[in-house]
A and B are shown apart, each in its own frame.
Chain A
Amino acid sequence: MSNGKKKRKRPSGSTSTYRAPAQADQPRRGLLDGLLAPRTPGASPMPKLRTTIAKGTMTALGIPGLLVAIPVVLLVVWLLLTLAGFQGPITLLGVTFAIPPITTFADQQVAGRTFRAAVDATGLSATLPGFGGLACLLLLHAVVSAVTATLCVEKLRTGSTSSWALRRALRVLRTTAALGLLGLGLLVIGALIAAFFGAIGGILGLVGSMVAGVYLFGFAPAIAADEDRRVSDVLIRSVRASRMPGSANLWFAIGYVLIALITILAPLPGSEIGITPTATAWVACILVNVFGVLVQAILVYRYLVVAPEVPEPPPPRERTAAR
């Protein structure tokens, strides 16, 4: 398959598919340098939020297949869940096209109501249905997130999309699945922190863990879709990208998490128990998911702009040479 552009083998040693990684000075490697890189000096290469939002919106709305897929996927997921015993509210499906750990938060709610063990079950039989259901939901969101990110990358890079995005998404799936697990871990940590600080701490722990997840790993799907890296490298690079100066990524993450939580918890149309959502409930659910796609596109655009500037981690110590 070709899109008509001239092919060229990627440069040897380059992990970025489109661009050569930025050549940064290699400072002395510290214990956590691989993960927590120091902020890069100089002016921020990050585009302004207004620009990012506009370009991300244009990108997402410029992919008709993705827009059509949103209501179709929602209907299929709804049918499957209701067959499994879910009875709503459909607002919990409002983050189907969001990113972890926001999706993970909703997955917990849905799995708790749908994939329940029999009363009085003990041992594995008590935990397996819930974990199995949660795993299925995490996988579903990993697939959705991988496809969405890959489509956005292709759209931004080439101006169009093709079936190759789906094939590429298979590679991205490892990263998005890992993100789902990471999101679950973050929520567990948030819950543990909350246990020590009561109700207020519970809210802060929940919001804090979700903000941390979006802030640190929001770029990961874009990186996985755009570059050939191992999952661990993708996650580390996402953290490094998020810490670039003047990026307002933290504020973006806080705003997104708060809006997402509101869409899950607020009494929007469809926030009631019932297996026959009204047209209004469907409209609300679809629009909230379109918003989730827009956010993904924004994150993809934001990363692709700064990708050449994101510093590579320092190389591992050469122990043999040191000796």
Chain B
Amino acid sequence: MRTRRLLLVLPTLALAVSITPIAAGAAPTDAPWPQYQGSEARTGDATSAPAPPYRIAWSAATDIGDASHAAGIPAPIVADGDAIVVGRQSVDAIDIADGSPAWSAPRSLGPSSPAAVVGGDVLFVEGGGDESVSASNAPTPSPSATPSSSASSGRAASVTPTVVASPSAATTTSTLVAIDASTQRRLWSVALSDVSHTGVLIAGGLAIVGADNGTVTAVDPATGKQTWTVDVGDHVLAPMAADATQVYACVRPETNGTAQLVALALSDGSEAWRYQPTGSVVDLGAPAVSTDGGTSTVYLVSSDAALRAIGGNGTQRWAQPLYTATSGSPPAVSADAVYVADQSGTVYAFDRSTGAEQWRFATNHGAVGAPVVTTTAVLQPTSDGAVAAIAPDSGHQIWEGSVADSAVFGLAATPDLVVAAHTGSTPGVAALQADPSGTLTDVASPTSADPAGLALGWLVAAVPLTAALVVLGRSWDRRLSEPLLAPTEDDDMPVDPWEADLEDDT
């Protein structure tokens, strides 16, 4: 118990790496990135990751779907030597050693959301229907059911024991499912009351999911037994975050109203506080939590194109505007700064405590996925299949490479690889590794002032172009002996408006 208390006050990194498996009461596993953004804090802070420049180590196809079929947040996690990503109708694991398929488990069709690994079990959400661009309004039938393995897991009885490998029947609601990573057998499943988009949060020994109808449900990840469930009032869509004592969920109003951030006690789901931004904020993005000396700060973006820092008691510490709105992904938080990207692909660094902007870099690639920060770079996935690496200290881009031909939804970092899940013509997972023969760049942001470059560019463009147009116009003009539309009614005494105006004015 004493050990656990000590862990609770350790920095975010310790929370991410240490608390989860211990608190879950499971044997520690080799899980460098066991859940979305690396930990329950969703900080995306990788202390051990390869440094740029990178090269593609391997690529593997999964069931994420192409641009018209992908839906949700199929962000990768890494555990037990596998990169795991939730696709449309399967959960796929790729061996990170060589990119070969490790296993695949069927899943009822529904929006993808990040899975989580705890104690060798993979928890994910399935069902809810097709939300992709190509979706029809009719409920999509479940995939052809794989014959049940019908083997007993030997675990404690679950709320809905479904020790089979087949997915739940397709419904308009989602189901939280646990499978054994080694056998892919279903250990238990819990039907949720609505569609879930949040993905699974493992915190405080609980597996927590939110649903569109506003319910937040916590279950025992070992048994699937419900620990608590609360209704926070309205849609819970964004991935949730947690610190040692509280879970943070963003609530989006159905129609009118202002979005809210709700802090719930991990122990029983009771509401600790509720933060409501002023102004017309209709939505809040996914939160990330950092803890310093026992005091937590929640960082999240809002629909009014701002990054906000909320104190542990629900009071706003600071808010900073961004150039454009964001996709709602959580910021990455390191010991020094908070990093966030807007939809235009501009990556920002803000001081954690004061909110002062340290730098911004316009990648000019749209950003949909959350950034990840390592000791050497801020890695930003982009909507056109690239990953940009920006130096955390200077804000200059030091590397950029393409891993796909369409959006990269998320990154996961291991000591040797950066794993990217993406859509595109060959949707799947790609891994980047350090490239000793590669070269680093040092590119300043296009938003940096460059008066000489501005003047030069304008002169080079404007002078010859304008001169050419003027010469062309004058050559035409000389051929005209008379005005094109000289007054015709009284040719001998034309009325000149300019003279008439003069007379009027005088």
Contact = CB atoms under 8 A, between A and B. Distances in A.
Interface of A: 1-3, 5-10, 17-20, 55, 58-64, 67-68, 70-72, 75, 87-88, 113, 116, 118-122, 126, 154-159, 162, 164, 167-168, 171, 226, 228, 272-283, 286-287, 290, 301, 304-305, 308
Nearest to A277: B457
A157 B466 contact: no
Given A2-B499, A67-B470, A87-B362, A275 B494 contact: no
Contacts of A301: 484-485
Given A10-B495, A17-B500, A120-B279, 20 more contacts: A2-B499, A5-B494, A7-B499, A8-B494, A9-B503, A18-B494, A64-B470, A67-B466, A68-B470, A116-B305, A119-B306, A120-B316, A157-B486, A159-B480, A228-B497, A273-B344, A274-B364, A276-B454, A282-B460, A282-B462
Contacts of B458: 71, 75, 277, 279, 282
Given A63-B473, A64-B470, A68-B466, A276 B485 contact: no
Give the size category of B's interface with A.
35 or more
Contacts of A58: 473, 476-477, 480, 484
B321 interface: yes
B501 A168 contact: yes
A263 to B, nearest CB: 16
Contact of A61 (B320, B473, B493): B473
Please indicate which of the listed interface residues B316, B344, B465, B488 has the most CB atoms of chain A within 10 Å of its own CB.
B465
A141 to B, nearest CB: 20
Interface in B454-506: 454, 456-458, 460-462, 465-466, 469-470, 472-474, 476-477, 480, 482-490, 492-503
A234 B460 CA distance: 41
Contact of B494 (A6, A226, A273, A276): A6
B272 interface: no
Nearest to B470: A64
Nearest to B488: A19
Contacts of B474: 62, 64
A147 to B, nearest CB: 14
21 contacts: A1-B499, A1-B502, A5-B499, A6-B494, A10-B500, A19-B487, A58-B476, A59-B484, A61-B470, A62-B477, A67-B466, A67-B473, A119-B319, A126-B280, A156-B484, A159-B482, A171-B501, A274-B364, A275-B447, A279-B458, A282-B457
Nearest to A167: B501
Nearest to B451: A276
B6 interface: no
Please indicate which of the listed interface residues B308, B323, B498 has the most CB atoms of chain A within 10 Å of its own CB.
B498
Contacts of A120: 277-279, 316, 319
Contacts of A118: 321
Nearest to B505: A167
A286 B462 contact: yes
Interface in B323-340: 323-324
Contacts of B488: 19
A196 B447 CA distance: 38
Contacts, number: 191
A305 B485 contact: yes
Contacts of B457: 276-279, 281-282
A108 B448 CA distance: 24
B244 to A, nearest CB: 29
A61 B469 contact: yes
B461 A280 contact: yes
Nearest to B361: A273
Contact of A276 (B308, B345, B450): B450
A149 to B, nearest CB: 13
A162 B496 CA distance: 13
Contact of A126 (B277, B279, B448): B279
Contact of A273 (B446, B450, B470): B446
B346 interface: yes
Contacts of B473: 58, 60-64, 67
B271 interface: no
A168 B473 CA distance: 24
Contacts of A68: 466, 470
B461 A286 contact: yes
A119 B304 contact: yes
A173 to B, nearest CB: 14
Interface in B43-97: none
A70 B467 CA distance: 12
B366 to A, nearest CB: 11
A1 B306 CA distance: 56
Contacts of B138: none
Nearest to B481: A159
A272 to B, nearest CB: 4
Top 4 closest A-B pairs, CB basis?
A274-B446, A61-B473, A282-B461, A71-B462
Nearest to B469: A67
B323 to A, nearest CB: 6
A16 to B, nearest CB: 9
A60 B476 CA distance: 11
B453 interface: yes
B1 interface: no
Contacts of B493: 6, 8
Interface in B170-214: none
Contacts of B323: 87, 113, 273
Contacts of A60: 473
Given A67-B469, A71-B461, A121-B279, A17 B453 contact: no
B74 to A, nearest CB: 23
A166 to B, nearest CB: 11
B484 A164 contact: no
Contact of B496 (A3, A87, A122, A275): A3
Contact of A55 (B461, B482, B484): B484
